[in-house]
């Protein structure tokens, strides 16, 4: 399916914006992120990389390559948000039709969710002039006051930034699909409105 990108037609493509993502690893070799002219290096500023300005990693490249999985979740939200395909000479080229919602934005990868403190996230965002924090995750314990306080305080200290969390990831919990820290009053939780599981239950 091809969806019209109405905001793109009005010049809203994410240009000049930097999105900080905390999730499982992003596969930077994917055509949505790969830069044939700039080698990606962990834990170093890469101002000339076409897509990723910083990639935090607690492991080296060899260990990263051994651990990365085809279905690692981080690649999915990163592509949905900021992916922009680059032509390659192999069979893995991706059509521009699948570019992200903000294809001209850039990415700061903060690291594996749960392993990044709010202070570390704050430092990475502010040092890279990032004003958008994307977190497509939540705690499986549903209500975690310590997480609410940690990320709520982070948002309170940084009114220039928006901190977005996923809603709906834990549909098996029934109606309780906004899980912490997405339940904090200072954060924005976003979910998809057409839920096939609940639609099926209502029939």
* Residue 202: pLDDT band with limits 50, 70, 90: very low
Q: How many CB atoms lie within 10 A of CB 58?
A: 11
> pTM, whole model, 2 decimals?
0.86
Q: Encode pLDDT of 78-116 as tens digits.
A: 999 999 988 666 655 667 778 899 999 999 999 998 899
**The pLDDT of residue 29:** 92
54, pLDDT greater than 80: yes
- Which residue reads 């699948």 in tokens? 98
Q: How far is it, in rounded angstroms, from Cα 99 to Cα 87?
A: 12
Mean pLDDT along residues 177-194 = 79
Q: Encode pLDDT of 122-174 as tens digits.
A: 999 999 999 999 998 876 666 778 888 899 999 999 999 999 988 876 665 55
Beta strands in 35-193 (DSSP E): 52-55, 106-111, 132-135, 162-166, 188-190
Tokens matching residue 194: 């057409």
* Residue 7: pLDDT band with limits 50, 70, 90: confident
* Residue 203: pLDDT band with limits 50, 70, 90: very low
**Whose CA is closest to 50, among 107, 127, 90?**
107
Write 46-51 long-range contacts (CB < 8 A, 24+).
49/106, 50/84, 50/86, 51/82, 51/84, 51/106, 51/107
Give percent above pLDDT 90 in the chain. 52
Give percent above pLDDT 70 in the chain. 81
């Amino acid at each position: 399916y091809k969806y019209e990108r109405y905001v793109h037609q009005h010049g809203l493509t994410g240009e000049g914006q930097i999105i900080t993502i905390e999730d499982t690893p992003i596969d930077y070799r994917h055509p949505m992120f790969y830069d044939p002219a700039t080698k990606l290096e962990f834990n170093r500023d890469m101002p000339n990389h076409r897509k990723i300005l910083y990639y935090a990693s607690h492991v080296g490249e060899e260990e990263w390559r051994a651990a990365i999985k085809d279905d690692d979740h981080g690649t999915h939200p990163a592509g949905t948000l900021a992916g922009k395909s680059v032509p390659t000479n192999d069979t893995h080229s991706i059509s521009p039709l699948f570019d992200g919602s903000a294809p001209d934005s850039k990415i700061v990868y903060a690291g594996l969710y749960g392993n990044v403190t709010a202070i570390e996230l704050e430092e990475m965002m502010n040092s890279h002039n990032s004003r958008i924090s994307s977190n497509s995750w939540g705690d499986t314990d549903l209500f975690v006051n310590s997480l609410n306080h940690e990320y709520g305080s982070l948002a309170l200290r940084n009114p220039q930034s928006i901190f977005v969390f996923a809603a709906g990831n834990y549909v098996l919990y029934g109606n309780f699909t906004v899980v912490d820290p997405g339940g904090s009053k200072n954060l924005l939780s976003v979910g998809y409105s057409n839920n096939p599981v609940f639609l099926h239950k209502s029939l």
